Amino acid sequence: MKNKKALCYVALLALMVWCIKGFWSNNTVKVKPLELDQSQQEFQQQVNRDDLLRKEHEISTLKVEMARLKMESSKCGLESKFSPEIPKIYAITPTHYRAVQKAELTRLSHTLMLVPNLHWVVVEDAESKTDLVTKLLAKTGMSYSHLNAATPKSWKPKAKEPRWVKPRGVLQRNTALQWLRDNVSPNEDGVIYFVDDDNSYSLEVFEEMRYLKGVGVWPVGLVGGLMVERPKINAEGKVTGWLTVWSPNRPFAIDMAGFAINLKLFHSKPNGKFSFESEKGYQESELLKHFVGSLNELEVKADNCTKVFVWHTRTEQANLAQEIKLRKENKPRSDIGIEV
């Protein structure tokens, strides 16, 4: 028995070595035509060809590694973890143009790429979908929907008005919610979560919410002027209030990143959405009142709300002092023909 197993592994190893060798010889064969080209083609073409070659090699090595990892995982019976039967997470992200937008969406996409069975609904605050976001989403290889909805001027903060005066992302989040009502079956297992493009998310938070039956809640770090804002939990493990300093008497004194909603529950309440009319800090309450009758219906997650799995980080506006100076002096901008 043992011998057979040993033999089997040896055979595997041999097979893999043979594969890798195979790819090497493939690549060397491929190099020849490229070298010939380099004498005739323009610089741009050479760049593309070399790039193509590098990417082909990368794909080969990735596939080799994948095969190895898949075997390892199968030994711990992990296949199920990746089965499409697990409830899907619909992550809703409103986004608007600013200098750091591409950087923010890029690093956020890396987090979401690591979450199994997640569908990313990205809604641009723009008259039409931008090339920047379109290309960025295509590159992720994720399952996603790309929408846009421009906030009316009357609801945009005026110059010098602090950014909290006007509610932000209302129209974009509602657009995403309407898209879910129109495009996702009421019978599908899943949850809805609002993912802002400047917050930081652990991978744990997504697994906390995946199997919610109703509305689940958990702490949020670095928000409301505190290290952490969180629900107040009693001995029975039920929510009795909110451990916040600012306006703890709101019906749901919780940040957008601190809750998720079961998809079937969402479908069962067709009026559940955000409103431009609700006062500052009441967007979450405005939405959740449709889905939650009383606090003790809330599902307490993150180890009885003692763990922080999401942080309300904020990215500084890019310092573009020199760029502005260039424009004043009618000098060319630094990013001509370059998407930043």
Contact 154, 163 (CB under 8 A): no
CB of 152 to its own copies, least distance (A): 28
281: alpha, beta or left? (left if phi > 0; alpha if psi -120 to 50): left
Single out the segment in contact with its own copies by CB under 8 A; choices: 28-36, 162-170, 188-196, 252-260.
Answer: 28-36
Write out the binding residues for its own copies, residues 180-209 only, by CB under 8 A.
200-203, 207
Q: Which is nearer to its own copies, 85 or 182 (CB)?
A: 85
Q: Which is nearer to its own copies, 91 or 149 (CB)?
A: 91
Structure token pair of residue 76: 């711990």
Q: Which is nearer to its own copies, 218 or 259 (CB)?
A: 218
Q: Report the binding-site residues for Mn(2+).
A: 198
Per DSSP, the residues of 125-189 read: SSSS--HHHHHHHHHHT-EEEEEE-PPPGGGSPPTT--TTSS--SHHHHHHHHHHHHHHS-TTS-
Q: Which is nearer to its own copies, 114 or 268 (CB)?
A: 114
78 binds its own copies (CB under 8 A): yes
DSSP state of 53: H
Q: Which residues of 298-320 are buried (b: 16+ CB within 10 A; e: fewer)?
A: bbbbbeebebbbbbbeeeeeeee
Please state, in angstroms and rounded to a whole number, the distance separating the CA atoms of residues 46 and 51.
Answer: 8
Single out the segment in contact with its own copies by CB under 8 A; choices: 39-47, 88-96, 269-277, 282-290.
Answer: 39-47
Active site residue 284: yes
Please state, in angstroms and rounded to a whole number, the distance separating the CA atoms of residues 221 and 241.
Answer: 17
The β-bridge partners of 201 are: 310
65 binds its own copies (CB under 8 A): yes
20 binds its own copies (CB under 8 A): yes
Contact 199, 310 (CB under 8 A): yes
Structure token pair of residue 235: 């001995």
Write out the binding residues for its own copies, residues 278-307 only, by CB under 8 A.
303-304, 306-307
Tell me whether residue 262 is exposed, middle or buried, using C-beta atoms within 10 angstroms of its C-beta: 0 to 12, 13 to 18, 19 or more. buried
CB of 265 to its own copies, least distance (A): 20
Write out the binding residues for its own copies, residues 124-143 only, by CB under 8 A.
138-142
224 binds its own copies (CB under 8 A): yes
Question: Which member of 38, 97, 107, 297 binds its own copies (CB under 8 A)?
Answer: 107
Contact 237, 304 (CB under 8 A): yes
Single out the segment in contact with its own copies by CB under 8 A; choices: 121-129, 263-271, 289-297, 312-320.
Answer: 312-320
Q: Which of helix, strand or coil describes residue 311?
A: strand
247 binds its own copies (CB under 8 A): no
Question: Which member of 88, 89, 94, 104 binds its own copies (CB under 8 A)?
Answer: 104
Neighbours of 75 (CB within 10 A): 8
Write out the binding residues for its own copies, residues 160-179 only, by CB under 8 A.
none
Question: Which member of 89, 191, 222, 287 binds its own copies (CB under 8 A)?
Answer: 222
**Which of these is catalytic: 104, 229, 284, 299?**
284
Single out the segment in contact with its own copies by CB under 8 A; choices: 88-96, 224-232, 247-255, 278-286.
Answer: 224-232
Question: Which member of 86, 126, 147, 150 binds its own copies (CB under 8 A)?
Answer: 86
276 binds its own copies (CB under 8 A): no
Question: Which member of 23, 96, 132, 157 binds its own copies (CB under 8 A)?
Answer: 23
Please state, in angstroms and rounded to a whole number, the distance separating the CA atoms of residues 120 and 91.
Answer: 5
Give the residue numbers marked as catalytic: 284
